[in-house]
Structure 1
Amino acid sequence: MSDNWSVVSLSSPTHSVATPPPNNSQFPLADWEAPSFTRAAQFRVGAIFILFLFAACSNLALLVSVWCGRGRRLASHLRPLMLSLASADLMMTFVVMPLDAVWNITVQWYGGNVLCKLLCFLKLFAMHASAFILVVISLDRQHAILHPLDALSAHSRNRRMLLLAWSLSLLLASPQLFIFRAIRVEAVDFTQCATHGSFSRRWQETLYNMFHFTTLYVIPLLVMSCCYSRILLHIHLQHLRDRAGESYLRRSGTDIIPKARMKTLKMTVVIVLSFVVCWTPYYLLGIWYWFQPDMLRITPEYIHHALFVFGNLNTCCDPVIYGFYTPSFRADLAACCHRTESDASLRSPDRPSVRQGPHSSEHETDPATNNQAAGD
């Protein structure tokens, strides 16, 4: 059992990347062992299934809330950011997670050549989109804090950055359509979706993997770190000037960084940190493999599975973090649960229907009206 730790198939199941043996007479075919659905892989599938259920429900709820619920009261330039983040997380949820689970169970590839290319392309596309949208959010927060008077152009600027993020994700994932294919080895009756034969030398595949590692993780991390470092430096300088009693720190009697904007900043910082914390261990283990393939014999198999599951936990974190900082999202969830309970009560033959009074929770003031957590 092995994992090719290729960024081109970062979310591939651990056993599935035990690719077919090279088609040459020097390879000892008898020594090649086909992968199997081990106990560690079974744990991975179970954990991915739980994450899938939670991520699907929470991200769909976030998408609905921002699109047509109380979340639509967000500032016009923030709504596309949160909609894009939820959409990217849903792509990870409905493409990466089910494919990973099914591939672990079947061990071989039964989807044919077209699905092999398409699904590997969609996996990398979803991973790039998720990382790049976090970059766009970081750039937006930097501009909002450093240039607070330039809010009128934020909507069009964010739309351009989001278009660029999705377009780059599409472009960078497109090589998957050419290097992946379904390969069948008749001698061992084994079919796999792999990059076998697409690279004539190992260093070429390593270089390709390192390129995507850079675009998926290193560059987004550097840009986000730069953005928030500049924000923290700006806030620190503002505090120093405030202590010095400089009058221009106040505009119309309010702080230069309003509470709503500061709360949004804290939310985005936590979202970025969750991305870094969840995916860093898996990427580091991947780098170790690319330069020392023998590490697979050193590290237990369950570690590879556990780190991939931990990375996918990031998809579940975003709606939880958004809900923690956004009362409107919590209010939408509470209203949905209340309607579900009311419908269940009406359908129950043992319980009489109860009319809602004027002081019921349905008539409570919407928290988003009084405190919009994701202000501007």
Structure 2
Amino acid sequence: MTQNYVPDLPFANMTRDGEGLGITYVNGSQQFCCDWNVTFNDTYEYEYFFEGLGVESIIIPAIFALIFFVGVIGNGTLVRIVLCNPPMRSVPNIFIASLAMGDLLLLFVFVPFNAITYMTTSWPLGEGMCKVINCVQVASTGVSVFTLTALSADRYHAIVNPINKKATDMMQRTYTVAILIWLFAIALGIPTLVLATVVPFYFPNNSTVYYCQAIPMYMTLVTKGHTAAMAIVLYLVPLSIISVYYVLIAIKLIQSSKHLIGENRRNDTKQLKARKRLAKVVLVFVLIFGICWLPHHLFNIMLVFSPDTTYMQTYGMMFFKFLGTVMAYANSCVNPLALYFLSNTFKTYYKKYILCCFKSKHRKKMMARKYREHTNMRYSSSRDMVSRTTQRTIIYSV
């Protein structure tokens, strides 16, 4: 059975037109008409849109719920570790905490509401929430990628130019950079906040479906420009800058490994190893971000720039869309997991804050078991002593 593909355009009055689908659009005072080459079956009119929710309405929200649960616990604990422990408030850790706060913003605002779109056939939350959640996605993504860029720059300067500076000045500069990153990311989300809208789609059987769109599809040039700008500003340019930083870091490390030989350079070698280890952590964060967000940007580019979008109706492309969405949101929960396995210091704090409840319960059980064993041992010893005394009495009385 052929699935019908109909673009999400507002105020579309659809009529049967031979082998294709004739659609008349109304955009302000202008009217457009075009013929979409979509094969129809007389016994199956618009069945694709009203056949009900599929299995994805259960699987995708369940995956989102898992991402939300893991991400909130991991990133919330990460922020608590940095803010509540003065020894952990170093320059890279401040950026890592800012990165975690951006992930928390995405998890709290965008992920739950986006899950609703897979559980309903029409957007139920109104235009205001449509604007907010699309703006939050852009801002959160901006915070993540720009913070990773700042982290890479910090690692570059720490390894290539390890100049001693006052800790106070460095911390003030770090907080300033983190705040500027948030302001710039929010500013990037303002166009989406203005343009995002709920688009009604009218069907001939008097049914109406509402779609939440970051940029209305009928604004063709704006949609293409916005999609290209997001892919360039939030993905290609930052990752390119990060790549340059890490190439320079690799060159410096190779040169340092040749010169740092001898007993008198032992301390410098230890410092370099520590900086190298932290650089690896940041590199893992960058690779995770690049891999997780690549399908999302690819799908958006194919959807907007492909001259023929009928192939987007296939199950393969729908799966690719779901995969891109899940991977993009999974990026918000994997950084704490990476820190747990890559940093012994963070692992200790994670065990302290997350596993303390389990350890407390385990400790209580152990104490209760030891108390029972001690009580039984005392009771057993007392009983054995009575038994031996009775035996002596019997023996001596004979």
**Scaled by the length of structure 1, what TM-score is found?**
0.77
Q: Which amino acid aligns with 1:217?
A: Y
Larger Rg: 2
Check 1:204–1:113 CA distance in 2 against 1; reply closer, same or farther (3 A cut).
closer
CA offset digits 1:170-202 (Å, max 9, x no partner)? 1110011211122335643222322575854x2
CA offset digits 1:287-311 (Å, max 9, x no partner)? 2222222331353422321232122
Contact 2:99–2:147 (Cα < 8 Å) also in 1: yes
Contact 2:294–2:324 (Cα < 8 Å) also in 1: no
SS of alignment partner, residue 198 of structure 2: strand
Aligned partner (choices 291, 296, 319) of residue 282 of structure 1: 296
Check 1:339–1:281 CA distance in 2 against 1; reply closer, same or farther (3 A cut).
closer
What's 2:393 paired with? none
Aligned partner (choices 309, 324, 331) of residue 307 of structure 1: 324
Q: Greater strand share, 1 or 2?
A: 2
Check 1:208–1:256 CA distance in 2 against 1; reply closer, same or farther (3 A cut).
same
1:335 aligns with 2:369: no
1:158 aligns with 2:174: yes
Check 1:2–1:309 CA distance in 2 against 1; reply closer, same or farther (3 A cut).
farther
Contact 1:179–1:198 (Cα < 8 Å) also in 2: no
Deviation at residue 277 of structure 1 after TM alignment: 1.7
Structure-to-structure mapping, 1:165-244, within 5 angstroms? 165-185=181-201, 187-194=206-213, 200=219, 202-242=220-260
CA offset digits 1:258-292 (Å, max 9, x no partner)? 33222111111111111112222332233222222
1:143 aligns with 2:157: yes
Check 1:137–1:32 CA distance in 2 against 1; reply closer, same or farther (3 A cut).
farther
Distance 2:75 2:274 in 1: 23
SS of alignment partner, residue 175 of structure 1: helix
Contact 1:125–1:172 (Cα < 8 Å) also in 2: yes
Most deviating of 118-127 and 165-174: 118-127
1:61 aligns with 2:80: no
1:79 aligns with 2:93: yes
Distance 1:2 1:275 in 2: 34
Deviation at residue 3 of structure 1 after TM alignment: 11
Unmatched runs of 5 consecutive residues or more in structure 1: 5-16, 355-376
Unmatched runs of 5 consecutive residues or more in structure 2: 13-24, 37-44, 372-398
CA offset digits 1:37-57 (Å, max 9, x no partner)? 322343222211111111111
Check 1:55–1:77 CA distance in 2 against 1; reply closer, same or farther (3 A cut).
same
Contact 2:82–2:94 (Cα < 8 Å) also in 1: no
Contact 1:120–1:177 (Cα < 8 Å) also in 2: yes
SS of alignment partner, residue 258 of structure 1: helix
Contact 2:76–2:100 (Cα < 8 Å) also in 1: yes
Deviation at residue 127 of structure 1 after TM alignment: 1.4
Q: Which amino acid aligns with 1:317?
A: V
Check 1:126–1:142 CA distance in 2 against 1; reply closer, same or farther (3 A cut).
same
CA offset digits 1:11-65 (Å, max 9, x no partner)? xxxxxx9454544373689869647532234322221111111111111111111
Distance 1:62 1:315 in 2: 12
Give the paired residue count.
Answer: 334
What's 1:8 paired with? none
Contact 1:56–1:90 (Cα < 8 Å) also in 2: yes
Check 1:33–1:345 CA distance in 2 against 1; reply closer, same or farther (3 A cut).
closer
1:91 aligns with 2:91: no
1:295 aligns with 2:311: yes
CA offset digits 1:126-183 (Å, max 9, x no partner)? 1111111111111111111111014434323322322221111011100112111223
Q: Percent identity?
A: 20
Contact 2:142–2:234 (Cα < 8 Å) also in 1: yes
Aligned partner (choices 120, 129, 136) of residue 143 of structure 2: 129
SS of alignment partner, residue 148 of structure 1: coil
Structure-to-structure mapping, 1:108-123, within 5 angstroms? 108-123=122-137
Most deviating of 208-217 and 77-86: 77-86
Distance 2:8 2:58 in 1: 17
Distance 1:38 1:18 in 2: 20
CA offset digits 1:201-233 (Å, max 9, x no partner)? x23311221011111101111111111111111
Distance 1:127 1:61 in 2: 20
**Scaled by the length of structure 2, what TM-score is found?**
0.73
Deviation at residue 351 of structure 1 after TM alignment: 4.4
Check 1:3–1:180 CA distance in 2 against 1; reply closer, same or farther (3 A cut).
farther
Distance 1:305 1:176 in 2: 22
The structure with higher relative contact order (CA 8 Å, sep 6+) is 1
Distance 1:290 1:345 in 2: 55
Check 1:19–1:92 CA distance in 2 against 1; reply closer, same or farther (3 A cut).
farther
